[in-house]
Amino acid sequence: KKKKKKKKKKKKLLLYLFYVREQLRQVSLTNLQNFDVLPRDIQAQLLLERDPHGNIQMSQIPIENLFIMICEKRLANKKSYKGKLRAQGHFFGYDGRSCYPTNFDAQYCYSLGLVAALLVNFRCNGYMTRVYDLEKDVLEWK
């Protein structure tokens, strides 16, 4: 009985997604292509579940998994890439995606990204970037 209900709900969702895709196709192919990049679960979250005020529940959308999926697809299309991406997502919640970064955030992420890029460039596997002495001036970070 539960399986039947779940199957019926899934069928209804697929019909709704088909309808939305058709509407997007008629309005703009670019919008349709952007929508099609998203996995079905994220498409469904954008279309169906809203909070009491009618807003999309952004904290329920696993954006970190979307980024990983996009990276996997891009790497799969690169002929020069022979490795296998083994990414691990981390959920930061609604607050992690709703405000502008501070200067500290920008400097910190830049530092982590710079070291990560160097590790990739020199083909170093199994390493993790770290920045410490963060209480000091940016030029003194290690």
Condensed to tens digits (0 to 9), the pLDDT of residues 69-103 reads: 888 888 888 888 888 888 888 877 666 556 778 89
Stated as kind and residue range, the H or E segment containing 46 is helix 40-47
The average pLDDT across 111-133 equals: 91
Residue type, 72: E
Cβ–Cβ < 8 Å for 85, 67? no
pLDDT at 126: 87
Q: How many residues does the chain have?
A: 142
pLDDT at 97: 58
With 0-12 / 13-18 / 19 or more C-beta atoms within 10 angstroms meaning exposed / middle / buried, residue 83 is exposed
pLDDT at 14: 85
Condensed to tens digits (0 to 9), the pLDDT of residues 24-36 reads: 999 989 999 989 8
Using CA atoms, how far apart are residues 75 and 1, in angstroms rounded to an integer? Answer: 42
